[in-house]
Each structure stands twice: as structure tokens, then as C-alpha cells.
Chain A
Amino acid sequence: MANTMPSNDALSKRGRVMGPRRYRVALLRSIVVLLSIALLEVASRQAWIDPISFIPPSEMALSAWTLLTDGAYREDMMLTLSSATASILMATSAGFLFGLALFKLPRLRRVLDPLLLSYYAVPIFVLYPLLIVLFGLNRWPLIMLGFLFAIIAMAVNTLNGLERVPQVLLRTARVLRMGKTREALLITLPASLPFVFTGIKLAIVYSFIAVIGGEFLLSGAGLGYQIAFAYNNFDNATMYGLMFLLLTFIGAINLVLHAVEHSLYQRRVIKEAV
């Protein structure tokens, strides 16, 4: 029996075989980003790019820091953040339930399938006037815009996750004499979690895109609106500073989400590959 056992070294290689390569890729990626920023810095300092319309990245960072510390845009930041959060919470919970309903009711799924497939072909922002009629002239139309943009991604990924729960795990639950609720909580949910998490990740990203995009085009408050306002008033320092803040914030969220998603999928992917 001992002959069939891999050593602890082999085990650790199997589990972390991608480790060094992943770090190398991450290092290369960081180098590419830093080189691009350095290139932009040099290009704008040397006036290779029009200095009136583009400021050096170092000045963007400085402006972002000033905007963050002087608190002038705190209300707009909080407004954007709270709107996106409301949209994310609604989209993830309703999207999960909708995905569950599609999984449990095949007839409903057959009816809705073509609509779901073409859902993202609709430019969601055209619904804004209708949302104003329905919810009034306040933050809710924007929140609903984020919700509508995110819910289907969440539902489709939930459905995908539920469909991919291996039958053998459900049969195991029956052998272990688990009831339907325990089966759902202890087997179905964790087994589908990587895919459900992809839905959550997309719902977060889509909510931010819709809320900030909506503010930029259609609103009178929020970070998106302030970027548009600064742009229209040729206030490059504020515009780029706010953009820098936004990109850093969204980028950080995405990195965290990507890392969690990666760790969830890795167990499954290696398992399927062995």
C-alpha cells in the first residue's frame, strides 16, 4: 500500500504545482503595469501627449490623495458606494432565487431561455426614463439600473452551478440519509459555490458599471456625475484624480474577488484534471 502513496513532497507539488509559475506571471503583470504607467509619465512630461488633456500619472495620484483627504467628494463617494451596494445586495439575492427557480422549474427555463440569451444585447440605460416613471426622481432608478444589469449574470451563474453539482454527491447525501434541507445546505450549496461566486463577482462588477455609468450620463450626484462635471469644466486634476480613485477601488475589489474565485475553482479544476 505504501508503494501507491505519493510522498508529502509529491502531495505538496500536486497542490501547489502552479505556485511558482503563478508568482512569475503576477510579477510579469506588475512589471507591465508599472512600465505602462512609467511610459505615460514620461510621455506626458515630455509633451508627447497633449499636456492640456492628459496629466502625468504621478499628478493623478497626488490629486486623488488630496481629493480623498480633504473630504470634498465624500458625500458623492458614499452615494455611489451605497447605491452600488444596494444594487449588489438586491441583484445577488434575487438573482440567486431566480437561478434556483430556473433550475427547479424546467418549463419556466424553456420559456425564458431565449430572453436570457439576448438579455445583454439590450442597452440597459435606455430603461432609465421608464425607471424614473416607476420609482421617481431619486436614487432608486440608478439602483434599479445596477440591479437589472447584474441580476441575470447572477441567475445564470447560479443555474450553471446548480446544474454542475455531480449526481454522485446527491446520491451520497441520500445514502447518508440527509433530508432535503441538509442536502441543500451541506452538499448542493458548497458544491455549486464556485459558480455562484462567479455570479456574485459579476453582479458586483456589473452593479458598479451601471451605477457609475448611470451617474456619468444621467444623474446629478455621485462619483460618476462628478467625473463628468470635471470633464465638462476642463478640470483635469479633479477628473483624473477621481478616475484614479475609482480605478484603484474597483481594481482592488476585482483583485480580491478574483483571488477568492481562483481558490474556489482551483480545488475543482485540479480534481477534474487528475
Chain B
Amino acid sequence: MAEALNLVTESPTPAIPGTHVAIRGATKIFAAPGGGTPLHALGPITFDLRQGEFFSVVGPSGCGKSTLLDLVAGLSAPTEGSISFEGTEIKGQVPDGVAVVFQEDASFPWLKVFDNAAFGARRNGLPENEVKERVEHALAFMGLSGFAKAYPSQLSGGMRQRVCIARAMVLRPRLMLLDEPFGALDQQTRLLMGEEMLKLWRETGSTVMLITHSIDEAVLLSDRIGTMSARPGQFIDIVETGWSRERGSETAMDPKYGALQSKIWSVLRNESLKALGA
């Protein structure tokens, strides 16, 4: 357990062609309240998100996965290092073309499903006919066409999460960041939502970064999977799954699926024990 980590330090600057998001030595240190010891939450991390790939991040609890997502989204600025999206540095402000789906239900309870999905597009000043067209397409895509006039309180947890995904989809983001979006759902709904995410990813061609606790989910959905160490989180392994773009739940039948799961778990196990203080 005390063995040194083989940290992944991918793609030294500058970013290689095809890079969508370039993370260079990103570190996050939170100041402690009352002048205590600062909390080193993340990094330094250096890696690239490739244009159009589905990248998943797994890691032990508290390793800084969500902090990484915050940095990439621009919801928080790195203490050190830099993050660039499409060649432009993100400085703690969400860039245009980025959408985030959170684990918690982020639907607006005072708006109907249609208005929830249209919210971001309307704020961006899109003409109403275009908003309508996009929202209708997104709701149909997410299987919510019959619920446009319902309030979120009338929907199940899985459907409300679809509303949030539809809201993101309407914006036609080039980068989708998913922070355990299916974490609060039951296993069956989770699997179905995963398939829908793959459909969405294929249709939009956007780059996806998924934060998840589930190795199964990561292996099933991703082109590449990054495994993080215990805090301060750094990538200790990044594996390519090699799945075709047309993958689905049948991928779980592939013999390579089990091998990938075992590989990731073998890397993650020690880190999880560390995170638990064992």
C-alpha cells in the first residue's frame, strides 16, 4: 500500500491536435477556515480531453473528482496550473458551449417541463421558434414529449434527471460534463439512462466527461477511463476501452468488459482503502 504511485502525466504542453480540453498542472487547494491547514484537494493533474470522446473519471470518495469537474466547467478556478477549452484558457468562468448535469435534481420546480428545457436557450436569446424546435426535439429524444406541460413534481427522479439532460441538450453543448448524474437513481433506470447518454453523445458529437463511482458504468459507456488516486486526486491510470461508437448494454457481454473492470478495480482498490483510512 505504501508503494509509489505511477502518476499519469499525459500530453506535455502545448496541447496535441484533436485536444478539446487541455489540463496542465491543475491543482486545487482550499483555504481552511480560521487559518488552519489548507486542504490540498486535487492535482497537479495534466491530461487532455480529446475532441468528441466519452471520458469517464472513477476514483475513491473524496478524491476530488467533482472538484476536477468544477475546474473544467469553470465553476472554480485552479489554485495552480491552467485549463483550456478549445484553445482558450478557462479562468473560473463557465465558457460558452459547456453544459453540466449534476447528481442532484436541478430542475426548476416552478416551471413546466417544456419551460425547464427551454430555460437556458431562452436566456441565451435564441428566437422562440428555434427554442420550440430544439426543446421539442430534446424532449422527444429523452422520451418526455407527453410530459411537456407537467411540473417536475409530477415526474419520477429519473424523468426529472432527463429534464435536466434535455435542458443541457437544447443548448447544443460542445462539452458535456456529467457529475454522477445517475447516482440517485435505481440500477435499472441507471442502465437505461446510460444508454440514453450514449445515444445523446452519438447524436450531438460533443465531448463528454462523466464523473462516476460506478466502474460498470464507466467501462460500459466510455472511450477512455481515468482512475484517480486518493486525495489529493491525480490520475494513476488511464485506459482505452476500444469500444466502437455504436456500443450499448450488449457491450457487457464482451470478454474484454470483465478484464477492464478487473483492471480498474485492481488499481482503485488500494486507493479506496487509503481513502477509508485503512
Contact = CB atoms under 8 A, between A and B. Distances in A.
Interface string A139-178: 0000000000000000000000000001011011011111
Interface stretch (B49-57, B100-108, B252-260): B100-108
Interface stretch (A8-16, A202-210, A229-237): A8-16
Contacts of A172: 100, 102, 106
Contacts of B99: 175
Contact of A182 (B75, B96, B123, B158): B123
A267 B105 contact: no
A164 B147 CA distance: 27
B94 A267 contact: no
A14 B75 contact: no
A83 B115 CA distance: 40
A246 to B, nearest CB: 34
A21 interface: no
Interface residues of A, number: 33
A6 B155 CA distance: 8
A190 interface: yes
B266 to A, nearest CB: 34
A19 to B, nearest CB: 13
Interface in B101-121: 102, 104-106, 108-110, 119-120
Contacts of B155: 11, 14, 274
Interface string A14-39: 11000000000000000000000000
A1 interface: yes
What band does the interface of chain B fall in when counting residues whose beta carbon is under 8 Å from A?
35 or more
Given A268-B153, A270-B154, A274-B156, A1 B143 contact: yes
A169 B108 contact: yes
Contact of B106 (A5, A169, A182): A169
A271 interface: yes
Nearest to A5: B143
A186 B73 CA distance: 22
Given A176-B120, A190-B110, A193-B110, A11 B150 contact: yes
Given A1-B192, A4-B192, A176 B109 contact: no
A166 B110 contact: no
B98 A271 contact: no
Contacts of A182: 123
A266 interface: yes
Indicate the member of B154, B155, B188 with the most A CB atoms within 10 Å: B154
B152 interface: yes
B159 interface: yes
B154 A175 contact: no
A191 interface: yes
A90 B167 CA distance: 39
Nearest to A271: B153
B96 A177 contact: yes
A170 B75 CA distance: 11
B143 A268 contact: no
Contacts of B152: 267, 271
A269 B155 CA distance: 13
Interface string A181-197: 01000110011010000
B124 to A, nearest CB: 8
Contacts of A121: none
Contacts of B120: 176
A274 B196 CA distance: 22
Contact of B105 (A4, A14, A15, A271): A271
A177 B108 contact: no
A268 B105 CA distance: 12
B151 interface: yes
A187 B120 CA distance: 12
A2 interface: yes
B192 A178 contact: no
A266 B98 contact: no
Q: Which 8 A-B pairs have the closest CB atoms?
A: A15-B154, A168-B104, A270-B153, A267-B153, A271-B153, A190-B110, A175-B100, A172-B106
